């Protein structure tokens, strides 16, 4: 049974304070974008579990892959039988796009469907939260204001369907833990739910990603991507998550922009 896990972008990302559990409370908008992996899950005909991948290179320890962890979680909790899983990986790693989290969430949803587990959205989100902070978002897969660890959601009225998006990931890998260690928390909410209701042309001066300053200082190539977007007419551009992908939102046709061959580049309409 094939599904197509999508990625997300962050519109604004504010680190509010550090929690007693070591994580941080944040405030951000998660917005789904149609850059997709392909995930095929079928019941095992031979009684053995298998996991195969192609596309972008992945680590060899498949038990640490979030897709396998999602299966193992339901195997342990609900005693589901073995399956064969094939993942075509197109969403880049270490990009701030949530590709691995999306793969895990879609795995949970497909296993729920295949084995008729009758898990509710809330139950699926609970399982997803055990796999990663932003995994529960992909169960909903609609624009939301995300708070707490990025796993508490409020509805937001926001549509970018009249726009086009360019996503570029330089060949740098940002370690999320190290990025958080360099951030100074705000200790107050930026009221992002109000800020995103402004015309998008005003976002450039009012909606920010707290990680950009420290990441751009460490990896100037990432900051140059944002600069390129604005120099070519983007109405808004920002780094997604803690990086290293940067996106530019364009009102009309995306202009031709030249990036190094080893960069990931996606251009398309926002659906």
Active site residues: 8, 134
Contact 29, 146 (CB under 8 A): yes
Q: What are phi and psi of 71, to 5 degrees?
A: -65, -45
Maximum CA pair distance of the chain?
A: 58
Contact 87, 38 (CB under 8 A): yes
Peptide bond into 244 cis (omega under 30): yes
Using alpha carbons, select from 29, 8, 32 the residue that is nearest to residue 198. Answer: 29
Handedness of CA 126, 127, 130, 134 (dihedral sign): negative
Q: What are phi and psi of 14, to 5 degrees?
A: -120, 130
- Per the listing, tokens 């038990």 go with 63
- Which strand ranges, in their side-by-side order, compose the sheet holding 164-169? 236-239, 246-250, 164-169, 264-269
């Amino acid at each position: 049974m094939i599904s197509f896990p999508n990625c997300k972008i962050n519109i604004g990302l504010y680190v509010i304070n550090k929690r007693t559990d070591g994580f941080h409370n944040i405030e951000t908008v998660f917005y789904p974008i149609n850059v997709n992996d392909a995930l095929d899950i079928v019941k095992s005909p031979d009684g053995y579990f298998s996991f195969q991948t192609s596309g972008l290179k992945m680590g060899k320890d498949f038990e640490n892959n979030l897709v396998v962890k999602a299966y193992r979680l339901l195997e342990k909790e609900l005693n589901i039988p073995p399956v064969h899983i094939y993942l075509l990986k197109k969403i880049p790693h270490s990009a701030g796009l949530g590709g691995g989290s999306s793969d895990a969430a879609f795995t949970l949803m497909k296993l729920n469907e295949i084995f008729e587990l009758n898990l509710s959205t809330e139950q699926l989100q609970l399982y997803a939260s055990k796999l990663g902070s932003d995994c529960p978002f992909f169960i909903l897969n609609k624009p939301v204001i995300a708070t707490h660890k990025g796993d508490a959601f409020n509805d937001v009225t926001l549509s970018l369907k009249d726009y086009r998006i360019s996503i570029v990931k330089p060949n740098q890998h940002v370690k999320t833990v190290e990025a958080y260690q360099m951030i100074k928390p705000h200790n107050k909410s930026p009221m992002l739910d109000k800020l995103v209701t402004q015309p998008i042309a005003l976002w450039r001066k009012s909606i920010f990603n707290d990680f950009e300053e420290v990441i751009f200082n460490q990896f100037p190539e990432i900051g140059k991507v944002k600069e390129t977007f604005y120099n070519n007419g983007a109405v808004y551009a920002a780094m997604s998550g803690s990086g290293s992908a940067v996106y530019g939102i364009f009102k009309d046709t995306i202009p031709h922009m030249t990036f190094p061959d080893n960069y990931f580049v996606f251009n398309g309409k926002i659906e």
